[in-house]
Amino acid sequence: MLSAFQNMLKVQDLRKKLLYTVWVIVLVRVLKNVPIPGIDLNVLADLMDYVKNQSESANKLVGMANVFSGGALQKLAIGVLGIMPYITASIIMQLMTPVFPNLEKLQKDGSHGRQKLNQYTRYMTIVICAVQSAMMAVAMHTPSKLLGVPGFEDLVINKGSAFVIQTTIIVTASAILIMWLGEQITDKGLGNGASIIITINVLSSMPQAFAAVYSKYQEGEWNLVQILVVVGILFIVTAATVALVQGMRKIPLKYARDASSRNAMIEKTSYLPLKVNHAGVMPIIFASALMMFPPMIINKIGGDFARTVAPYFDFGSTSYLIIQGVMILVFTFFWVATQFNPIQIADDLNRSGAFVPGHRPGEPTSTFLNDTMTRITVAGAIFLVILALLPYVLMNAMGSGSTDFIITQFFGGTSLLIMVGVVLQTMQQIEVQLVQNNYDGFITGGRLRSRKG
């Protein structure tokens, strides 16, 4: 593997993409650490300390949002919204496409249609950013109403509409910049930009998570066995995610081609790979993004209704895990339904002279591919849900404690699946380019391939 990393630097195109990606990540991290102008940082520090040590519900709400914002929430940084408005807009567009014929037509209209849909997603992102940043600016005037904690009314130095307008413009502009930087990673860097940014955000909480585990051990709250369980969760989820990402069903194909001037036909056998986890980590990201909204809305509403509903969305509770599991299942099937087109694949196979043995070209082939993908998606989706939720169950059984929410959040299945899944997908992209440049990749140790072979 070390040789493969060294070979990345030898391939000029890969080296440029790597350096470009690193540069963009650094810029995003800067936006995550510059505080919003007009905030009293001392009051903010006291507020976050109170939330961590005195308010379990607020700690879970802030902790969950803080992990996916890359630590920007606890600093109230200008990049606090991050890439999540873009993710939310993407979810809405995915849901709207099958409903509105014009959008569905654009989706089927090749690259031009996809460009239009992407443009609509950007417009929607801007609207979401403006609304969220304005609501956040207003909430900063009275943080007690949003988080349910007393005091801290002097968080904003100079209250008023000027602060709201200024904050809305700055935070919205930062989120749009992060969205654009994510697209630049996708176009000019390595991997999917939005996924890379979310992964970096999650990874930024790793030092805190390991420090919290060590602190529990030092204070005698956890013994060596519990530490080993945490490490075991890390390795098991990593190994299982690798198996899930690389798992596929190989559909045998045969190609008929001319063997001589007499047009005799020779059959050449190949296969069509159908990935068990065709949706990748997107269902996890979508479900996690949507699950952050109910607690915020409930805290904002308050009253008897909020107190009745709030326990169902309490992070790590049985009801929370069930809701998240159902959402992961739904988004997995929805993503496959919108991204996997068996009719198009069957037509492409027919045009290239390929066929699936035992199935006639055209509709019979597309039906077979659709049924096969549905079956393996059922298995893949269930496995994905188990991987996402089981670590939370184990961590709760160990009693990670409300003050150490960061442990449950980081070592839980959601964060680990996103990190490992995105890293694997990026490595696969690098692997392809290394092989194209006559180098073995991560799998075979990074040796230079024979140019004669």
Tell whether the model's pLDDT for residue 21 goes beyond 50: yes
CB-CB contact of 286 with 91 (8 Å): yes
212: confidence class by pLDDT, cuts 50, 70, 90: confident
DSSP 84-98: HHHHHHHHHHHHHTT
Is pLDDT larger for residue 9 or for residue 135?
Answer: 135
Helices assigned H by DSSP within 97-160: 101-107, 110-141, 143-147
- Is the pLDDT reported for residue 376 higher than 80? yes
What six digits make up the tokens of 430? 């690098």
Higher per-residue confidence, 170 vs 7 = 170
CA proximity to 292, closest of 213, 382, 201, 377: 201
Distance CA 122, CA 101 (A): 20
Identify the pLDDT of residue 422: 86
pLDDT at 439: 67
Helix/strand number for the chain, H first, E second? 21, 3
In angstroms, the CA 286 to CA 278 distance is: 15
**Averaged pLDDT, 144-153:** 71
pLDDT single digits (tens) 412-449: 677 777 888 888 888 888 888 887 776 666 655 544 44
CB atoms under 10 Å from CB of 117, counted, come to 18
- Does the domain at 2-436 match CATH 1.10.3370.10? Answer given as yes
pTM of structure: 0.80
What is the spatial distance between Cα 208 and Cα 29, in angstroms, rounded to a whole number? 16
Range name among 23-27, 318-322, 374-378 with the lowest pLDDT average: 318-322
Q: How much is the pLDDT for 315?
A: 73
Is pLDDT of 276 > 60? yes
Q: How confident is the model at residue 261 (pLDDT cuts 50, 70, 90)?
A: very low
φ, ψ dihedrals at 191, nearest 5°: 85, -175
Tokens of 281: 């980590």
Q: What is the mean pLDDT of residues 153-164?
A: 89
Residue with the bigger pLDDT between 317 and 42: it is 42
The mean per-residue pLDDT over the stretch 56-70 comes to 75
Average pLDDT of the chain, as a whole number:
82
Is the confidence at residue 408, as pLDDT, over 80?
no
Q: Specify the 3-state DSSP secondary structure of 266.
A: strand
> Where exactly are the structural domains of the chain?
2-436
- Tokens linked to 164: 């709201």
Strand 265-275 to strand 248-258: parallel, antiparallel, or no bridges (unpaired)? antiparallel
